[in-house]
Structure 1
Amino acid sequence: MTRRLIACGLGLLVLASVTACGDRTQESGSPQTMPTASASSSTSAPSSTAPAANSGAAAPAVKRCDSTVLKGEVSPTDAGAGNRYGKFVVTNSGAVPCTLNGYSGFQLENATGAVPTKLERKADPGPAAMTLAPGGKAAANLHWGVVPAGSEPVEGPCQPEPSKAAAIPPDETAPLTVPWTLGPVCSGGRIEISAFYAA
């Protein structure tokens, strides 16, 4: 080995020996060894430190809030001149955080089935991503009318009276059931709803 290195320094070795010197140079200080060093916190034991370097990237993603963890209620906030206002409030009843972003589905129902509902999305406030910690709440504003419109009867309820609503969280398909104790919704069950916001 000593003779080979001396020969390389003098430029007298055949081509095969020059190639071996090039390999030796790469082994001792070539840039090819740098990625392995930079991927770990220690160049002396890169394989043992690799799991520590990747441990932060393995954090689980926060899941969307769905009907298995959300509990809901509708509460009135204001009334006047044939208009009613309320809030649909959901609470994360789970043990871990979940995300919420967008509009809820909302279908009025009673003991016999679906009650006419025409849901209209309002842009104020619009969708905004949020994370609900366990026990955290979000709300959506509701507005509806109680004055008969069109061919709705003037005497008696304008529409069948709901007793509950099936509310589907944003980007989900399974609804949660919410009690409805606020009477009939006129204009064919027209309800304006905002996107969820932190409550």
Structure 2
Amino acid sequence: MTRRLIACGLLVLASVTACGTRTPENASQTLPTSEPTPSSSASSSPSPAAESGAALAAVKRCDSASLRGEVTPTDAAAGNRYGKFVVTNASSAPCTLNGYSGFQLENASGAVPTKLERKADPGPATVTLAPGGKATANLHWGIVPSGNEPVEGSCQPEPSKAAAIPPNETAPLSVPWTFGSVCSGGKIEISAFYAS
């Protein structure tokens, strides 16, 4: 009986040793929990689509510090005015725009009533501006008084500039406004930016 217990003890000891015992020498080692991933070799290169996506991800958004803006008139008809809000990348690196600009009319006294309405044609799409590159948003506003607006003189306080905030940014850039009052409570329709 004693021999059997000793034999069993030796078997248990042998199996524990085979599975590994923790000693001061190997106490800090850990066993791998999964198969190691093969490292990329020089022969496997990323696809052109992956490289293009990575390059696009590296281009930062255009902010007010990198842009210069202006509003240019394009058309006028029966109390309606049309223009283009054009921004130029004034920095030395490419940047992207995607979406609509904020646009608040202002004069020397501060904010002037502005009701911005987004139009879906054209809708948002990513535009990459190289240094010196331009993007445009279409504008439409009216000059005929409506509602309680006075019919003599200016229908609203006359703006001298606009604070325009690029898409997904918070700081505005200042844009001159030389087109007089904007009626209907300062209503301006604006499109998303597109390459120009």
TM-score w.r.t. structure 1 length? 0.73
2-structure distance, mates of 1:58, 1:171 = 20
Post-superposition offset of 1:58: 8.4
Instruction: State the SS of the aligned residue for 1:138.
Output: strand
**2:75 corresponds to which residue?**
78
2-structure distance, mates of 1:156, 1:103 = 32
Q: CA distance change for structure 1 residues 98 and 182 in 2, over 3 Å: closer, same or farther?
A: same
Q: CA distance change for structure 1 residues 58 and 193 in 2, over 3 Å: closer, same or farther?
A: closer
CA-atom RMSD in angstroms? 2.2
Q: CA distance change for structure 1 residues 148 and 97 in 2, over 3 Å: closer, same or farther?
A: same
2-structure distance, mates of 1:134, 1:172 = 19
Instruction: State the SS of the aligned residue for 1:161.
Output: coil
2-structure distance, mates of 1:156, 1:162 = 14
1:184 aligns with 2:184: no
**1:120 corresponds to which residue?**
117
1-structure distance, mates of 2:76, 2:175 = 21
Q: Which amino acid aligns with 1:41?
A: A
Post-superposition offset of 1:41: 2.7
2-structure distance, mates of 1:72, 1:40 = 47
Instruction: State the SS of the aligned residue for 1:187.
Output: helix
Post-superposition offset of 1:61: 1.1
How do 1:156-175 and structure 2 match up within 5 A?
Answer: 156-175=153-172
**2:28 corresponds to which residue?**
none
Name the one with the larger helix percent. 1
Q: CA distance change for structure 1 residues 101 and 58 in 2, over 3 Å: closer, same or farther?
A: closer
**2:146 corresponds to which residue?**
149
Q: Which amino acid aligns with 1:176?
A: L
